[in-house]
């Protein structure tokens, strides 16, 4: 019950805190300048909407609700001119990308369509689209040896304002290592052969470059190593899972047998009081349990049936009890020892010991039930914390967004 009230109080306090935050945000929004002025967001902060009530002073008329959208502030012409100059200067640094500068372009350039912090949309026009496309990707021969001049016309758009300028680029030959040069020549040869033999049934790889013979060999895929690794990992995981399932099954079986121990010891005591000897009591209890089809008695019945088969096969009673206790384990092992001793000392003392065992078994059963209850509470704690987190998010997030 204490946990219940603790969770209830936590959720209630969360709701109160969210309510206070929402109230503060609403009060801030309701404050209005006496002259009816409402602040606009600066450019880039976006527009927002407010709900306002309009009525007439000294007139008893119903107030009407109006939803007013407040757009962000626009730049004046002077502010736009200053920003355009800054944008052109920034673009001059951005356009080369990974190239040193505009006079040494050997790779692709960067052509942004807008810039962070600037309100402009940008358009580019290239003087020679055979050298470069509109995305800034070089199209000219990677093995070129001559410089190529290129003019990039840039236009900025902002509302009714428009600004233009030209950037002069020089495309220079790339600096290639011998390996890169050979790779490019080979790729060019492959493309050429592919084009020439596109109607043939077979494609012939280039056999020679710069009077040097080429040796080709097919690369083998190494996917088999992945199958081996995943197979080994899967086997380990499967083995661990099987071992875990086996341990859990054994633990569950032992717990089930422990829960039945008090009932079994009590029945054994009653049969002994009624005058049966130990062997006949065992057989009678086994027959009694076999009448039920309850899954709880399955494991105990299995061990009892095995013990009865040993009796019928004329195995000594001491050995039967000892084997039965070792199979059932737990408190049954102690009981099997008592039964073995009883064969020599008689039933009188055994009944007293069985009474003590019944009391201890009932107490152990209650303790096990309490333990199971505590474990169930712990297992429920994590889902309850997740539910509490979801509730807090559902309450706090709208309040936070409302303040913003």
The DSSP result for 292-305, as a single string, is ---GGGHHHHHHHH
Q: Contact 136/125 with Cβ under 8 angstroms?
A: no
Indicate the SS3 state at residue 66: strand
| 378 shares a domain with 263 | yes
The beta strand positions in 104-190, using DSSP E, are: 121-126, 148-158, 161-171
User: How far is 88 from 163, CA to CA, in rounded Å?
Assistant: 9
State the Cα–Cα distance between residues 140 and 169, nearest whole angstrom. 14
Identify whether residues 95 and 109 lie together within a single domain: yes
Q: What pLDDT does residue 360 have?
A: 75
Q: CB burial class (10 A; 0-12, 13-18, 19+) of residue 150?
A: buried
With respect to residue 21, please indicate whether it lies within any of the assigned structural domains. no
Q: Give me the torsion for CA of 123, 127, 129, 133, rounded to 10°.
A: -30
Let me know: does 267 contact 285? Beta carbons within 8 Å.
yes
**Is beta strand 64-70 parallel, antiparallel or unpaired with respect to 48-54?**
antiparallel
Q: How far apart are CA 11 and CA 351, in angstroms?
A: 57
Clarify whether residues 204 and 86 are in a common domain: no
Average pLDDT of adjacent 10-residue blocks, the chain of 404 residues: 64 75 62 63 74 67 70 85 91 90 88 89 89 84 79 91 92 77 76 79 77 77 69 76 77 75 76 77 78 70 80 80 79 76 66 73 73 72 81 77 60
The angle at the Cα of 326, spanning 324 to 330, to the nearest 5 degrees, equals 105
Q: Are 185 and 177 a contacting pair, CB within 8 Å?
A: no
Instruction: Please tell me whether residues 261 and 379 are part of one structural domain.
Output: yes
Give domain status of residue 268, yes or no: yes
Helices 347-403 and 331-345, axial angle in degrees (round to 10): 170
* Gap between the Cα atoms of 378 and 262, Å rounded: 28
Cβ atoms < 10 Å from Cβ of 358: 19
Q: Does 241 reside within a domain? A: no
Q: Please tell me whether residue 198 adopts helix, strand or coil conformation.
A: coil
Whether 291 and 205 map to the same domain: the answer is: no
User: Does residue 139 sit in the same domain as residue 194?
Assistant: no
CA end-to-end span of the chain, whole Å? 40
Could you give the CA distance from residue 114 to residue 47 in angstroms, rounded to a whole number?
20
Same domain, 191 and 133: no
Residues 372 and 266 in one domain: yes
* Helical residues (DSSP H) of 111-220, grouped into ranges: 178-196
Are 306 and 344 found together in one domain? yes
One domain, residues 258 and 367: yes
HSE of 147 in the Cβ direction (CA atoms, 13 Å)? 10
Q: What is the pLDDT of residue 166?
A: 93
The H-or-E segment that residue 52 falls in is strand 48-54
The pLDDT of residue 333: 78
Instruction: Indicate if 274 and 358 belong to the same structural domain.
Output: yes
CA distance 44 to 47: 9
Q: How far apart are CA 81 and CA 242, in angstroms?
A: 73
* End position of a domain, from candidates 163, 192, 213: 213
Q: Does residue 332 belong to any structural domain of this protein?
A: yes
**What local confidence, expressed as pLDDT, does residue 359 receive?**
74
Within a domain: 50: no
Give me the number of domains the chain comprises.
Answer: 3
Element (H, E) at 51: strand 48-54
Q: Would 209 be classed as within a structural domain?
A: yes
42 in a domain, yes or no? no
Strand partners, 69: 49
* The predicted structure's pLDDT at residue 20: 74
Domain range enclosing 274 = 254-385
Which of 117, 148, 175 finishes a domain?
175
pLDDT at 156: 93
Spatial separation of the C-alpha atoms in residues 278 and 344, rounded to whole Å = 12
Domain membership flag for residue 22: no
Q: From CA 325, how far away is CA 264, in angstroms rounded? A: 13
C-alpha angle 106-110-111 in degrees, rounded to nearest 5? 130
Shared domain for 273 and 373, answered yes or no, is yes
Residue 152 — φ and ψ, nearest 5°? -110, 110
What pLDDT is stored for residue 157 in this prediction? Answer: 93
Give the pLDDT score at 86.
92
Q: Residue 157: CA atoms inside 13 Å, Cβ hemisphere, count? A: 6
Q: Compute the distance between CA of residue 319 and CA of residue 279 in angstroms, rounded to an integer.
A: 12
- Count Cβ atoms within 10 A of the Cβ of residue 341 and give its class: 0-12 exposed, 13-18 middle, 19 or more buried: middle
Tell which of 187, 213, 239 closes a domain.
Answer: 213
């Amino acid at each position: 019950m204490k946990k219940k009230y603790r969770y209830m109080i936590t959720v209630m306090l969360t709701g109160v805190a969210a309510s206070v935050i929402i109230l503060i945000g609403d009060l801030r929004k309701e404050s209005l300048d006496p002259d009816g002025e409402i602040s606009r967001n600066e450019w880039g902060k976006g527009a927002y909407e407010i709900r306002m009530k309009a009525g007439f002073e000294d007139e008893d008329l119903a107030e009407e609700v109006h939803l007013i959208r407040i757009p962000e502030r626009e730049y004046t012409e002077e502010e736009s001119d200053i920003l355009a100059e800054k944008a052109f200067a920034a673009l001059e640094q951005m356009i080369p990308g990974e190239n040193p500068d505009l006079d040494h372009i050997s790779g692709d350039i960067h052509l942004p369509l807008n810039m962070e912090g600037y309100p402009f949309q940008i358009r580019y026009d290239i003087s020679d689209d055979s050298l470069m496309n509109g995305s800034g990707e070089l199209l000219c021969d990677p093995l070129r040896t001559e410089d190529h001049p290129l003019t990039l016309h840039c236009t900025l758009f902002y509302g009714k304002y428009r600004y233009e300028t030209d950037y002069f680029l020089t495309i220079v030959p790339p600096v290639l290592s011998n390996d890169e040069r050979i790779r490019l020549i080979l790729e060019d040869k492959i493309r050429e052969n592919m084009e020439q033999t596109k109607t043939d049934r077979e494609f012939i790889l280039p056999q020679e470059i710069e009077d040097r013979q080429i040796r080709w060999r097919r690369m083998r895929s190494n996917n088999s190593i992945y199958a081996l690794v995943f197979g080994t990992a899967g086997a380990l995981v499967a083995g661990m899972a099987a071992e875990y399932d086996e341990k859990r099954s054994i633990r569950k079986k032992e717990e089930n047998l422990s829960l039945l121990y008090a009932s079994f010891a009590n029945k054994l005591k009653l049969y002994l009081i009624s005058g049966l000897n130990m062997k006949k009591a065992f057989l009678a209890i086994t027959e009694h349990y076999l009448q039920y089809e309850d899954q709880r008695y399955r494991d105990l019945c299995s061990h009892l049936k095995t013990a009865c088969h040993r009796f019928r096969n004329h195995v000594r009673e001491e050995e039967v009890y000892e084997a039965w206790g070792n199979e059932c384990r737990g408190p049954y092992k102690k009981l099997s020892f008592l039964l073995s001793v009883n064969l020599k000392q008689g039933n009188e003392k055994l009944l007293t010991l069985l009474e003590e065992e019944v009391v201890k078994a009932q107490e152990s059963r209650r303790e096990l039930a309490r333990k199971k209850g505590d474990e169930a509470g712990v297992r429920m704690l994590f889902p309850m914390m997740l539910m509490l987190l979801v509730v807090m998010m559902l309450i706090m997030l709208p309040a936070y967004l409302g303040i913003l």
